[in-house]
Structure 1
C-alpha cells in the first residue's frame, strides 16, 4: 500500500490499527506526528471514514495547523469537516454550539492570563484581601487546579480542608465565577470544566458527540489533566476507537495540573488495549540516546522503552559543574568564543535555560564578551498592548457584556 511505504514497521502498525483502544508510546524523535497524520489519512482514504466522524486533539495550535496543512498538501484531503484542534479550541466549539444549555451566550469571551489578573485585582479590592497573605498567583493556581479537577465552588470543601486560608480562597473562587458569568466570559480552565459537565449532565448531548466522533486521537496524552481525561473518556466510551499518543518520559507539565497517571493507567482504564512502542529515533545520534536511556531507566513509574538509532556522531556530551550562575555564564561564553575561533558560526550555537529569568546573566556576560545574541521568545504577540487593544475592540463588537474589554478601550485612543 503506497500510503504506508515511507513508514517503519511500528509506525505502520499505528496507522493500520484503527479499531479499539490503542496506546502509542512514542519516544522523542520517533515520528509521532508523522504517525498521527498518516493514521488520519488512512482512516479517510483507506477505511473511507468520513472526516466528520474523526476527532484529533493536539497539544498546541501550531501542531493542529501542521496536521491540517500536511493532510491537505500531502494527501489532498479536504479537512473542512475534520475536527482538529487543542482541547481548548474543541471545547470552545462545543460550548458555543450548545450554549442554550449554559448560563452563557454563544458569543462568550475567553479571558487570557492578563484578563484574569485584571479581574482578580478587582476582586481583591472589592473583598479587601491582603495580597501579602493571599498571594494572587498562588490563589489563581489553586482555583485553576480545582477547575482542572472538576471541582465547582459549591463542592470546594468536599475536597479541601476547611480553614481560614481555604475559606478565603473559596470566597474568591465563587466571586470570580460570578464575575465571569456576569460578563459572559470564561477562562481557559472553564472551557474544560463546562464541557465536562455539559457532557456528563446532558445525556442527549453526550450521545450526539459520541455518535459524531467515532474515531478519536489524542496527542501528548502524558500532558492531559483530569478534566481532559474525563472529556475524552465520555466521548470515546461508546465506540472505544480511541488512540492516545504520548511519552511518559516527556511528562513536564505536572506543575499546571497534568496527571501522568492518565497515560500510565490507560491499559487499566480501557479493556483490550493494544500497545505499540515507537522506539526508533530519527533526531539524535546514538551517544545522546544512550545518555538519555541511562538516566531515565532509574524512573520506576514509566512504561519501559529503549530508544535506538542508526545515526552515529563523534560529539561527546560534557557535564560541567560550576560554583555559581556567573561562572556558568562565563564558561558558556568561553566555549562560544572557542567555537568562533574554529570558524563555527554563531547561528549554529544555542543556549537553553529552564526559565526566562536565567537569561539575564547570559545576556550581560555576552555583552561583556562582545558576543552577538538573539533572545527567542520575548513578549508574546498576543500580549502586546496594541494587539490586546485591537482584540478588546473586536470582543466588544461580538460580546457587548464584556466589561473588561470595554474598560480597556474606553480611554484609548485618548
Structure 2
C-alpha cells in the first residue's frame, strides 16, 4: 500500500485523497500533475475500494496515456497483486474502441478505416476534381478548411440550412462537404472528428447504449482539461450519471489549442457547471529554477482569463535567462547552434561524447526549421525533428499501411489509389481517373470494380496491359488474405512475403534516399506489428491499423543523443535541461 503522505507534497496529497464528487485541479507547469493523476487512480483503488474497471481516465496524447497506464498499473499491481483492467486513453482512442463495440448502431463493420490528415487531404482533392477544381486551387483549400471548421463544431452537412449565403461560395462549400462525407462513407472510413461525433450521436440517440456506457464508470478523470473542446466536453457529460465523480486537471495559463477549438471557459467555469466543486491549486514547481519561474510568473500575470496563482520552487536560483536578437534567421540559427555545441561539449556523456540528449529547439511553426537544420549540420550536431514527418508518415511506411488497409477494408479507395501503381505497374493517372469514374458508375469500390474487370465480369476500356498488371496486383492481395485467415498467428511473416511478391523491397532499394534507410523502416514496421500482437493478444489487426492512425507527434519521441527540434505545441508537457 503506497504511503501517500511521504510521496506527495501537502497540496498534491489533498488532490489525491479528496472525497469530493467534483474536483478541479489547477496544476501549474511542472507541479507533478501526472503524478497526482496516477496516485489518484491508485488511491481510488487502495483506499476508496473502487473497482479498477470502473475508472475512466482521459489523457491528451497516446504517449501520456501509455505512461499513465504503466505507472498506474504498477502502483495498482502492488496493491492488488494482479494486473488491473484500467481504461486510460485519449478521447479519440476511447471513441474508436466504443465504435468497434457499438458498430451495429451506426451500420459500420468493426474494421472501419481511420483516415489521417494525408488520407483526408487526398479525399478532399478527389472531391474537388469531381466538382471541376484542381487539388491546389484556392477553392479546394478554402472548402477543406470549411469542412474541418464545421466538424470541429460538431456540425454535419445535413444540419446546415442556407437560405441566403453569408459569404462567397457557402452553398458550394456545403455541397463539397456533403460529397466528402459520401465519399468517405463509401470507403468504410471515419476521420478523427467522426470518432467523437459518431460516438456522441449514438449516445444521444440510443438511451440504452448510453445507460450501458455511463453505467460502466463511477469515476472519470480528464487531463489537460484546459485544452478540451465543446465536442469532447459534450461526450464526457454523456458518459456521466448523477453519481459519477468528475475529476479534471489542467491550467488555464497553459491553454495553447484554442485555434483547434479548445474552450478555456470549460475549466474556468467548472465550479459553475458543477456547483459545490472543489478547486485545488498545485503551484510548487519541480521542473524549473527560481529565475525561470520569476520571469514566467511576471509574464503570465498579464493574462486576464486565469485562476490566480504564482509558481514557486524550493530548488536552485539557476542561471540567468539569456536573450539574443539577430537581424536574420540565419544569424539567429548560427548563434543557437554555437550555444548548443558549447553546452554539449561542456557536459559530455559517460563515453566522452558531447551530450545532446536534453537539449531542444522550440519554435512557433514548422516552416522555421530550415535555418536551424543548416546551422546544426554545419557544426555536425545530430538532431531530430518531431511533429514533422513521423515514422508512420514516411513514404514507405504509408505505402505498406495502405496495402494492409486494403487487406481488411477493400472499400478504402484512398488506400487503393495510393498503391495501385506502387511499385510502378504502368497504371498512370489517366487510368486511375477512369477506374474512379467507372467504379462509381457501377456502384462499386475501386478495388472491387477492378477485381471484376480482371475476372471478365465487367467490360472496360482500360488497356490490356493495365488489366494484366491489375490482375497480378489483386491476385497477390487475395492470396495474402487467404494466408492470413489460415495463419493468423504469423501476421508479420505473411505480410513480409506479400511485400516481397509485390516487388516492394526491390522498389525502395532502387529509390533509396542516401539519408533514408527505407528498407529498415519497412522491417521496423513488421517488427512493430509483431510486438503489438504479442503485447495485445486480444486485439485484432484492424485495431492495430486504427491505433497507428491515432498516433500523434509526441508518440515518436524517444531517447537518443541528438538535439530535439519541435513546435511549442508538440513540446507540451515534455522536459529538457
Q: CA deviation at 1:146?
A: 1.5
1:227-247 Cα deviation digits (max 9, x unpaired): 101001121243241001111
Distance 1:8 1:153 in 2: 51
| 1:60 counterpart residue number | 61
Distance 1:297 1:288 in 2: 14
**Counterpart selection for 1:400 from 410, 418, 424:** 410
| 1:277 counterpart residue number | 281
Tell me, yes or no, if the aligned pair for 1:210 and 1:239 is still in contact at 8 Å: no
Q: Does 1:193 align with 2:186?
A: no
Question: Residues 232-251 of structure 1 correspond to what in structure 2 (within 5 A)?
Answer: 232-251=236-255
Q: Does 1:171 align with 2:175?
A: yes
Distance 1:252 1:42 in 2: 31
| 1:82 counterpart residue number | 86
Question: Residues 334-349 of structure 1 correspond to what in structure 2 (within 5 A)?
Answer: 334-336=338-340, 339=343, 345=354, 347=356, 349=359
Tell me, yes or no, if the aligned pair for 1:148 and 1:192 is still in contact at 8 Å: no
Q: Does 1:375 align with 2:384?
A: yes
| 1:107 counterpart residue number | 111
1:21-67 Cα deviation digits (max 9, x unpaired): 11011111111001110111111222221122111111111111111
Q: CA deviation at 1:202?
A: 1.5
What secondary structure is seen at the aligned counterpart in 2 of 1:375? strand
Distance 2:267 2:211 in 1: 25
Question: Residues 7-406 of structure 1 correspond to what in structure 2 (within 5 A)?
Answer: 7-76=8-77, 81-129=85-133, 131-136=136-141, 138-157=142-161, 162-336=166-340, 339=343, 345=354, 347=356, 349-368=359-378, 370-377=379-386, 378-406=388-416
- If asked which structure has higher relative contact order (CA below 8 Å, sep 6+), I would say 1
TM-score by length of 1: 0.92
My pick for the range that moved more, 102-111 or 290-299, is 102-111
Distance 1:341 1:84 in 2: 41
Q: In 2 relative to 1, CA 343–39 (structure 1 residues): closer, same or farther, beyond 3 Å?
A: closer
Tell me, yes or no, if the aligned pair for 2:200 and 2:235 is still in contact at 8 Å: yes
Tell me, yes or no, if the aligned pair for 2:125 and 2:140 is still in contact at 8 Å: no
1:336-389 Cα deviation digits (max 9, x unpaired): 465578677452643322222212112223444x35231332521111222223
Distance 1:160 1:255 in 2: 27
Distance 1:251 1:222 in 2: 6
Distance 2:300 2:163 in 1: 34
TM-score by length of 2: 0.67
What secondary structure is seen at the aligned counterpart in 2 of 1:81? coil
What secondary structure is seen at the aligned counterpart in 2 of 1:134? helix
Distance 2:251 2:162 in 1: 33
Structure 2: give runs of 5+ residues left out of the alignment: 349-353, 423-501, 504-577
Give the count of matched residue pairs: 412
What secondary structure is seen at the aligned counterpart in 2 of 1:233? helix
| 1:410 counterpart residue number | 420
Distance 2:172 2:191 in 1: 21
Q: Which has the larger radius of gyration?
A: 2
Q: CA RMSD in A?
A: 2.3
What secondary structure is seen at the aligned counterpart in 1 of 2:410? coil
What secondary structure is seen at the aligned counterpart in 1 of 2:97? helix
Structure 1: give runs of 5+ residues left out of the alignment: none
Q: CA deviation at 1:180?
A: 1.4
Q: CA deviation at 1:80?
A: 5.4
Q: In 2 relative to 1, CA 371–175 (structure 1 residues): closer, same or farther, beyond 3 Å?
A: same
Q: In 2 relative to 1, CA 261–158 (structure 1 residues): closer, same or farther, beyond 3 Å?
A: farther
